[in-house]
Amino acid sequence: MRTQHITIADVARACGVSVATVSRALLDYPQVNARTRERVVRAVRALGYVPNRAARSLVVRATQTLGLLIPDATDPIHGQLVAGFEQEAAAYGYIVILANGLDDPARERRAIESFVMSRADGIALLGSVLPQREVRRRVRPSPVVFVDGEHPGLAGYQSDLPTGCIRADDIAGMQAVVQHLLETGFRSIAYAGGTGNASDLTRREAVAKTLQRSRPGATLRTYVWRAADWDPDTAVVAAIARDRPDAVICYDDKMALSLIDGLRTHGVRVPRDVAVVGFDDIPFARLANPRLTTIAQPVVDMGRQAAAMLLRAIQKGTMPRSVRLPVRLIVRESTVHTSARPGGRSVAPSRPGRASVRDR
């Protein structure tokens, strides 16, 4: 345990050259003699030398490190983004330091400060609950990318900064959902959400607007789900079981699956009695029974793109423009009447909306 780490000086001594030569050999400088390099490489292996990144980054003023903040690693959707991000970063020799913000501004500030202490060359924030300008100020001069910023002030997605923001096009997604539901013949459509963050507000608003466009004067009944992730909000479930709207659009898949489970306990059948829609297309959406109609966000890709944007910003010194990524409506059983026979096949909706796919 108390062994010191091998340093470049040890290697230099071992093969009778200067530390500069060892450094150059390891950095693949072309001017080093092939035989010298060979000796160095051999000594490195023999001694088990591994360069000290801290020392290196101190002099080159770059850490080859990206910081990634996510709300909560427990959520599969965040995990997928992490996977994409880490993959892209690793492909370019960057390491990633990870922090969970838990939707708490204080924790998020601490995480950001930690990234700055680590002098991360770039920082990505998923679901940040802080104002974007505050973040920019804190991390300056490192580039930041916001993925699905959730600061309430961002509701409507109009006020994302012009560069360095990545978003799925929730609004288009919700329009497609509403259109699909209406075309399928559902009349009373409700929304279940309630986190109060930007995307919750935006999604609800998008549903309301789309609904009003086709049926002026209609108001959107909204259920406020207060339970934590995965947990059923029994009050909401009971209310929906009682009200029996034709369809409920949920904030995300987790909520939708919880709701479906809760409704089953109440003896309410989905989609026959109440249709349910989710958001995200987590892997379980298609394994649920009934399989869940949802909006797929390209999450892994968003993670990859976040890293790629940072890498480009680091290299070029200028942050790429913000992007809005397309989502896909995936129609599955939870919004399509199944035949009476248990285990029966799904029936296609009359006319699937544009930009939608039918699954299976």
Partner DNA sequence: CTGAAAGCGCTAACAG
Partner DNA sequence: CTGTTAGCGCTTTCAG
Name the residues that contact DNA, by CB under 7 A.
4-5, 7-9, 16-21, 23-24, 26-27, 31-37, 49, 51-52, 55-56, 58-61
Among 78, 151, 167, 332, binds a second copy (CB under 8 A): 78
Among 288, 295, 306, 330, binds a second copy (CB under 8 A): 288
Q: If contact means CB under 5 to 8 A according to the sort of partner, which of DNA, a second copy, none does residue 16 touch?
A: DNA
Q: If contact means CB under 5 to 8 A according to the sort of partner, which of DNA, a second copy, none does residue 214 touch?
A: none
DSSP label at residue 351:
S
Interface with a second copy, residue 162, by CB under 8 A: no
What are the distances in angstroms from CA 259 to CA 114, 163, 184, 254?
38, 37, 21, 8
What are the distances in angstroms from CA 340 to CA 247, 271, 331, 345, 346?
19, 12, 19, 10, 10
Residues in the chain: 360
φ, ψ at 232 (rounded to 5°): -75, 135
Q: If contact means CB under 5 to 8 A according to the sort of partner, which of DNA, a second copy, none does residue 23 touch?
A: DNA
Q: If contact means CB under 5 to 8 A according to the sort of partner, which of DNA, a second copy, none does residue 352 touch?
A: none
| Interface pattern 190-229 for a second copy (x via CB under 8 A) | ---------------------------------------x
| Residue 172 in tokens | 């288009």
Q: At closest approach, how far in Å is the CB of 47 from DNA?
A: 11
Interface with a second copy, residue 283, by CB under 8 A: yes
Interface with a second copy, residue 83, by CB under 8 A: yes
Report helix, strand or coil for 45: helix
- Cα separation, 223 vs 209, whole angstroms: 17
- Cα separation, 214 vs 176, whole angstroms: 13
Give me the sign of the Cα torsion angle 133, 134, 137, 138: negative
